[in-house]
Chains A and B, each alone.
Chain A
Amino acid sequence: MTAITADHLLTRVRGLLAAHPPADTDRADFLRARFDAGLAWVHYPEGLGGLGAPRSLQAVVDAELAAAGAPDNDPRRIGIGLGMAAPTILAYGTDEQKQRFLRPLWIGEEVWCQLFSEPGAGSDLAALGTRAVRETGSGDWIVDGQKVWTSSAHTARWAILIARTDPGLPKHQGITYFLCDMHAPGVEVRPLRQITGEAEFNEVFLTGVRIPDSHRLGAVGEGWAVARTTLMNERVSIGGMRIPREGGMIAPVAAAWRERPELRTHALHQRLLELWVEAEVARLTGERLRQQLAVGQPGPEGSGMKLTFARLNQEISGLEVELLAEEGLLYDDWTMRRPDGVDFTGREAGYRYLRAKGNSIEGGTSEILLNIVAERVLGLPPEPRDDKDLAWKDLNR
């Protein structure tokens, strides 16, 4: 087989554009044609939206299509499907599962969500207690439990789900991975109103939910290994992008400082300068990481960037509320609403302050990430633990 080159892909892209001119083509039709041309994710196999090309060539395709004004599939809205469900289905799915799920997922006809975290299993995800019991006769699985912090659950058609199928085994071994129909009877989605007043996330209650065995992903009891594939593909949004000097959360604070001299105090000045310097150094650290990746020398800095940004966002947004003096006592709007996407920097200072509190919790708490840096980067030994070999049912909960 000859290697697929950028030129080869560009020829294909032009063929697609010629056959389906974006200006005259329905958005969904164009996206379907793009998938069928193997230009959805070029590193996927032929017939599944790809051509088996090097992953790095995707950028060539995306740039050419964007330049031609082609519609995109709004990765923000369907990010969990693209970033987490798809690579896992590709790695572990049966041929039928790949054929059934990948195309509507990529086009955005079917939105996905992720049913992993539970009220009792956050950082210690493998301790999860949602049960899946196999029904004798039908072979279907009956699922009962509660999930939490589920983005997009209210719009999702499908979910990736991990559930406990053998409580007698140690916690990492008795887990099985399923594809769950969010329209199935027994699935109840409730908005989870959070500290800011809005609801970005949901709680999902599963009561006697029936999942056919054909919607199991990977072998029974092998769900943890499958979940690790999902989690490794969880996209890290920080590090790849180039941030301008004074970008991010420091921008509105610096602007307020310049525009409103009456707010300035010496104590706030010192804190502002310290944080301005730290934000600039964080920008440079991210830029250095980006340069390392570009020359194929990925450094371990990536594992630390989220820690840095979480701390900085919290300190800067806290300073901003104080800087605003009397206005800092006010909040823009407590109305319960459901934002389309996650907006970390939107709205006003009070919102930013409250929303930033999530930055050190979501996607791995800062404490867990510090452990990861200490163990994987610095090579420090793990804390002794006794939960690895104990049956899940015998764990303290």
Chain B
Amino acid sequence: MTTPAAPTDLLYSGTEEELRSAVRALLTDRCDAKSVLDRAGTDRPHDPALWHTLAVEIGAAGLLVPEKLGGQGASHREAAVVLEELGRAVAPVPYLTSAVLATEILLGCDTAEAATLLRELASGRTVCVPAVPLTLAPGAPLPAPVRDLGSGSLTGTVTSVADAVAADVLLVLADTGLYAVPAAAAGLTPRVPLDLTRPLATVTLEAAAGTRLADAGTARAAVAGALLSGAGLLASEQLGLAEWCLTETVRHVRGRHQFNRPVGSFQALKHRLARLWLDVASARAAARAAADALATEAPDAPLTVAVAQAYCSGVAVRAAEECVQLHGGIGMTWEHPAHLYLKRAKADSLALGTAGHHRGLVADFAELPAP
């Protein structure tokens, strides 16, 4: 079993809090529940103007990109703080897919073509999305549904690709390597997603031409590394989401009167919310540990990420389910945003590996083998 080498820094730095304030102020202004709801009812759930401000003006798109490639040269700790805020707002922006997963894949490629794309991505001008199913998990076998029929003529179908409809460029993992394919060159079939704020599409490639970014071995390692980072940082999105659910539910039960008293004074409800608060406080420690382990390239990062995912997925779903239940009738309506959080939380619990998958990884890392 791996032992933590250095003490993990589980707090937020001053810089991280400043970044949080900037992102939260933007989301408060431009991504309130009503505007997310209005958008979710259309076939264009993304908010390109919001993305532009977040990616370009705040510079969040390039947090993980080194300064020499035009990025911010920050770390997973800062990206995690952005994701906490995006989770809190169920923001319809391709941050997890473009600024985390695609960025990490490109960082793992180490070629001039990848560096060029990283520069564009870091500037916020280009949205780049990996053409892999959102459910693909770290530690799971990588599928290769796309074949190179010769000289970069890519053919195949990838299902459940998140944010593909917002992408300028798709990162395609083919049997011969990794390719950048303009989204316009791919066939995109939007699917009806459970999570309205993170749309899914089926990507169909029919002899599509792509720019080769890495050979097969490098590509697979880069994707595996990106999945680990993505899973670790998704815990922070789940934390932010859970925190919104808890805060809003507490606000509701304090104000809502039944039987001539605030419903929040009933012990049955108080105990449920106190337990949920405990879970959220614990999820914060788990998510911070994962972000810090990724940022410091700790040897036990894979275990810490698996622990965070195994724990935070469930907390986010429970928080959203409690939010719906404790809001009573209004919690079941379309007009109240609780459903957006429930849908995101449940979809997130499948994204990048289920809690069960991550517990299986914990079994490997902690040397607790199955029978």
Interface residues of A (CB under 8 A from B): 244-246, 254, 257-258, 261, 264-266, 269-270, 272-274, 276-278, 280-282, 284-285, 287-288, 291-292, 295, 297, 299-301, 304, 307-308, 367, 370-371, 373-375, 377-384
Chain B contacts of A285 at CB under 8 A? 281-282, 284-286
Chain B contacts of A284 at CB under 8 A? 8, 10, 282, 285-286, 288-289
Cα distance, A304 to B285, chains bound together (Å): 13
- 5 nearest CB pairs, A to B: A374-B270, A264-B371, A288-B10, A373-B274, A284-B285
Cα distance, A272 to B286, chains bound together (Å): 18
Candidates B9, B267, B277, B310; contact of A291 at CB < 8 Å:
B9
* B271 & A245 in contact (Cβ 8 Å cutoff): no
Candidates A261, A297, A304, A383; contact of B267 at CB < 8 Å:
A383
* B368 & A269 in contact (Cβ 8 Å cutoff): yes
C-beta contact mask, B229-267 vs A, less than 8 Å → 1, else 0? Answer: 000000000000000000000100110000001101111
* B3 & A380 in contact (Cβ 8 Å cutoff): no
Chain A contacts of B283 at CB under 8 A? 281
Chain B contacts of A367 at CB under 8 A? 271
Knowing A277-B362, A381-B264, the reply to whether A304 touches B368 (Cβ < 8 A) is no
B4 sits at the interface (CB 8 A): yes
* A378 & B371 in contact (Cβ 8 Å cutoff): no
Knowing A273-B359, A281-B307, the reply to whether A373 touches B278 (Cβ < 8 A) is yes
Query: Can you list 8 residue pairs at the A/B interface with Cβ under 8 Å?
Result: A244-B3, A261-B371, A273-B360, A274-B310, A288-B10, A304-B281, A371-B270, A380-B262
Q: How far is the CB of A125 from chain B (nearest CB, A)?
A: 19
* A281 & B370 in contact (Cβ 8 Å cutoff): no
Most chain B beta carbons < 10 A, residue from A246, A280, A307: A280
B273 sits at the interface (CB 8 A): yes
* B11 & A370 in contact (Cβ 8 Å cutoff): no
Interface residues on B, range: 35 or more
User: Closest chain B residue to A367 by CB distance?
Assistant: B271
User: Which residues of chain B in 7-44 are interfacial with respect to chain A, using CB atoms and an 8 Å cutoff?
Assistant: 7-11
Q: How far is the CB of A256 from chain B (nearest CB, A)?
A: 11
User: Closest chain A residue to B10 by CB distance?
Assistant: A288
Q: How far is the CB of B303 from chain A (nearest CB, A)?
A: 8
* B368 & A281 in contact (Cβ 8 Å cutoff): no
* B1 & A246 in contact (Cβ 8 Å cutoff): yes
Knowing A370-B274, A383-B265, the reply to whether A276 touches B368 (Cβ < 8 A) is yes
Q: How far is the CB of B83 from chain A (nearest CB, A)?
A: 18
B275 sits at the interface (CB 8 A): yes
* A269 & B254 in contact (Cβ 8 Å cutoff): no
Q: DSSP class of B's interface residues: helix, strand, loop or mixed?
A: helix
User: Closest chain B residue to A374 by CB distance?
Assistant: B270
* B1 & A245 in contact (Cβ 8 Å cutoff): yes
Candidates B1, B10, B370; contact of A269 at CB < 8 Å:
B370
Cα distance, A11 to B9, chains bound together (Å): 35
* A258 & B254 in contact (Cβ 8 Å cutoff): no
B341 sits at the interface (CB 8 A): no
* A307 & B278 in contact (Cβ 8 Å cutoff): yes
Knowing A258-B367, A380-B264, the reply to whether A288 touches B284 (Cβ < 8 A) is yes
Cα distance, A282 to B311, chains bound together (Å): 11
* A282 & B282 in contact (Cβ 8 Å cutoff): yes
Most chain A beta carbons < 10 A, residue from B265, B270, B363: B270
Q: How far is the CB of A203 from chain B (nearest CB, A)?
A: 30
B330 sits at the interface (CB 8 A): no
User: Closest chain B residue to A263 by CB distance?
Assistant: B371
B221 sits at the interface (CB 8 A): no
Chain B contacts of A378 at CB under 8 A? 250, 270, 273-274, 277
Knowing A291-B9, A367-B271, A380-B273, the reply to whether A276 touches B254 (Cβ < 8 A) is no
Cα distance, A277 to B9, chains bound together (Å): 19
Chain A contacts of B262 at CB under 8 A? 380-381
Cα distance, A383 to B262, chains bound together (Å): 9
16 extra interface residue pairs, beta carbon distance < 8 Å, beyond A270-B359, A277-B362, A288-B284:
A246-B366, A258-B367, A264-B371, A276-B362, A280-B307, A284-B285, A284-B289, A291-B11, A300-B281, A304-B277, A371-B271, A373-B278, A374-B274, A379-B254, A380-B273, A381-B254
Q: How far is the CB of A124 from chain B (nearest CB, A)?
A: 14
* A288 & B278 in contact (Cβ 8 Å cutoff): no
User: Closest chain B residue to A300 by CB distance?
Assistant: B281
* B371 & A266 in contact (Cβ 8 Å cutoff): yes
Cα distance, A377 to B270, chains bound together (Å): 11
* A375 & B286 in contact (Cβ 8 Å cutoff): no
Chain A contacts of B4 at CB under 8 A? 245
Cα distance, A274 to B359, chains bound together (Å): 7
C-beta contact mask, B344-361 vs A, less than 8 Å → 1, else 0? Answer: 000000000000000110
Knowing A277-B362, A371-B267, the reply to whether A295 touches B11 (Cβ < 8 A) is yes
Cα distance, A245 to B368, chains bound together (Å): 14
Knowing A284-B10, A288-B288, the reply to whether A380 touches B270 (Cβ < 8 A) is yes
Cα distance, A258 to B368, chains bound together (Å): 6
User: Closest chain B residue to A277 by CB distance?
Assistant: B310
Cα distance, A284 to B282, chains bound together (Å): 8
Chain B contacts of A371 at CB under 8 A? 267, 270-271, 274
Q: How far is the CB of A396 from chain B (nearest CB, A)?
A: 18
Chain B contacts of A374 at CB under 8 A? 270-271, 273-274
Cα distance, A132 to B288, chains bound together (Å): 54
Chain A contacts of B359 at CB under 8 A? 270, 273-274, 277
Chain A contacts of B271 at CB under 8 A? 367, 370-371, 374
Knowing A277-B307, A284-B289, A374-B274, the reply to whether A269 touches B282 (Cβ < 8 A) is no
Cα distance, A195 to B39, chains bound together (Å): 60
* A375 & B270 in contact (Cβ 8 Å cutoff): yes
Q: How far is the CB of B134 from chain A (nearest CB, A)?
A: 23
Cα distance, A324 to B283, chains bound together (Å): 31
* A383 & B266 in contact (Cβ 8 Å cutoff): yes
